[in-house]
Structure 1
Amino acid sequence: MTTEEQPTRHERAESDKRRRTRGVKLFIRDIVIIFLAAIVISVGIKAFLIRSFYIPSGSMKDTLQIDDRIIVNELVPNVIPIEHGDVVVFRDPGGWLDPRYEPPQNWFVTSVDWVLSVVGLSAPDSNDHLIKRVIGLPGDTVECCNTFGQMSVNGVPLDEPYLKLGPGVTKASGTDFSVTVPKDSLWVMGDNRYDSKDSRYNTDQPGKGFVPIENVVGRAFVVSWPIDHWSWLDNYPTVFAGVDDKSP
């Protein structure tokens, strides 16, 4: 290359500038693509796999505390069947929840909450849902209480270690009952048995206290927040051992 054909200092500087500009543009493009992919994946996970809820009441103490954040497996019940002892989140079957007044929020808080809900990090609809433990599945006979104060399912008495009972209280329920769970429905109860408006106290509603399985959003399987409450949520298979045998 002759001296005349060699790039000048100005031309080299312009070439370096174009390369840097192109590199910055590629970097920004990649960041945007990664961000959008993360949003799409998060939305997909929330829509089909898991989502977050918070606990608005004390009906599941001491298993769950007020304002705990839980992660819910949305594959239950459509892909994975519900089992005895599962802690499930479900939509109000009708009349279980009292009407609530939601104070107006400013547009910024509402917008942030919406964005977080899209990716499953917020749960603005938690107040429209309930969370209880599944005691009876379709066809089960659930009764309380026997002479030892225990509840039974299909004649099998339950020793329930997750119950929160008051001092000196030995009965698993303050209300005696005997029900047979209809098809495609559940009988659910709170672990804080004397402070839970569950199936027992909604028998005067259209669903007679039973929860349609189609109302179940999913099974809660972990407490994710606060960190000191982190724990897996057990469905206590040993408690319900033998209750699936409905033979006489």
Structure 2
Amino acid sequence: MAVGARSGHDDPEEGREQLAESPEAVTDEMSDSRGEGRGDDGSETGSGAKKPRSFWKELPLLILIALVLAFLIKAFLVQAFSIPSDSMQNTLQQGDRVLVDKLTPWFGAEPKRGEVVVFEDPGGWLEGTPTPQPNALQTVLSTIGLMPSAEDKDLIKRVIAVGGDTVECKKGGKVQVNGHALNETDYIYPGNTPCDDEPFGPITVPKGNLWVMGDHRQNSLDSRYHQELADHGTFPADKVVGRAIVVAWPVTRWSTLPVPGTFDQSGLSTAASAVSGAAAVAPGALGVAGALPLVLWRRRRLTRRRTAG
């Protein structure tokens, strides 16, 4: 037997040509065994070459998550409300949009003196007030928190006294809470008197109830004008939707709504409710901000899976 004999390959150049081609042939066979190969244009085909889905295909998921988050934020965290009247001038102007903190009441915190609060009609306060009919777009936007609901009968006033307080105001005098006169020049409408149009008291606010007044005293149908009702102008604190924390629109009027210093000077407890900085963002924006990281995380995860496969 002849060791190293050739079989029909007398030309060494031909043998080198076959050896040079053999690695490519092996590679092609391995590719075929994995179900991968190359297309007619030389591009790779098969499961290992799949590209991640484009951002535009992920956009519907982003929108869906944003809407869900916006709805949850509106229900439990913060909601926008429109100011329908002049009763809170100059603190709030008609047409202003305020953001209301709805989270704090969930933890049992009650409204404090000096806070501006949104509350549901306790019964009889808005009697006879017509309810505007929203169009389809307004209905959708109000559902996700981008617009206030036109169907809700809510009011906005400043808390003057809380359960257990005694409040009164004589003509020509100042509002007094537990015998302490309030200096209201920081927020009362210029030219208004504290209560000359409707003096009241003394009234002891029942436990768990609130006494509220508008900043535009001569243009506000507040607690003073509902003393004929069962709670004598007060109402249960659980009617409060939340505390107004910031004027969000128009941008030229952007401002926070802190507790006035007079409530500290009176010696009364005015511990303000803690408010997260995120509450100063509209629910729709918070929803998008929360949805985008989730979608990007999902895309990275899918990309890693494809790469590992």
TM-score range relative to shorter protein: 0.7 to 0.9
In the alignment, what sits opposite 2:98?
70
Q: How much does 1:28 deviate?
A: 4.3
Which sections of structure 2, spanning at least 5 residues, go unmatched?
1-23, 30-36, 270-309
Distance (Å, rounded) in 2 between the aligned partners of 1:227 and 1:126: 25
In the alignment, what sits opposite 2:160?
135
Larger Rg: 2
* Cα deviation 1:49-106 (Å, max 9, x = unaligned): 111100001100000000100000012434233111000000001111133444655x
1:77 counterpart SS class: helix
In the alignment, what sits opposite 1:10?
40
Cα distance change of structure 1 residues 181 and 126 upon mapping to structure 2, 3 Å threshold = farther
Q: How much does 1:158 deviate?
A: 0.5
Distance (Å, rounded) in 2 between the aligned partners of 1:103 and 1:177: 33
Cα distance change of structure 1 residues 19 and 69 upon mapping to structure 2, 3 Å threshold = farther
Distance (Å, rounded) in 1 between the aligned partners of 2:232 and 2:132: 32
In the alignment, what sits opposite 1:42?
70
Aligned counterpart for 1:114 among listed residues 139, 159, 175: 139
Which sections of structure 1, spanning at least 5 residues, go unmatched?
none
Query: 1:84 aligned to 2:109?
Result: no
Contact 1:84 1:240 in 2 (8 A): no
Count of aligned pairs between the two proteins: 236
Q: How much does 1:200 deviate?
A: 0.3
- The CA RMSD over aligned residues, in Å, is 2.9
Q: Which one has the bigger helix percentage? A: 2
Q: TM-score, normalised to structure 2's length?
A: 0.67
* Cα deviation 1:111-153 (Å, max 9, x = unaligned): x22332233111114751000000010010001027x621100
Cα distance change of structure 1 residues 60 and 14 upon mapping to structure 2, 3 Å threshold = same
Q: How much does 1:13 deviate?
A: 5.3
Cα distance change of structure 1 residues 10 and 181 upon mapping to structure 2, 3 Å threshold = same
Distance (Å, rounded) in 1 between the aligned partners of 2:78 and 2:231: 27
Aligned counterpart for 1:97 among listed residues 126, 131, 136: 126
Cα distance change of structure 1 residues 234 and 87 upon mapping to structure 2, 3 Å threshold = same
Q: What amino acid is the match of 2:118?
A: V
Q: TM-score, normalised to structure 1's length?
A: 0.83
Structure 1 stretch displaced more, 151-160 or 79-88: 79-88
Query: 1:229 aligned to 2:253?
Result: yes
Q: What amino acid is the match of 2:175?
A: M
1:187 counterpart SS class: strand
Contact 1:76 1:82 in 2 (8 A): no
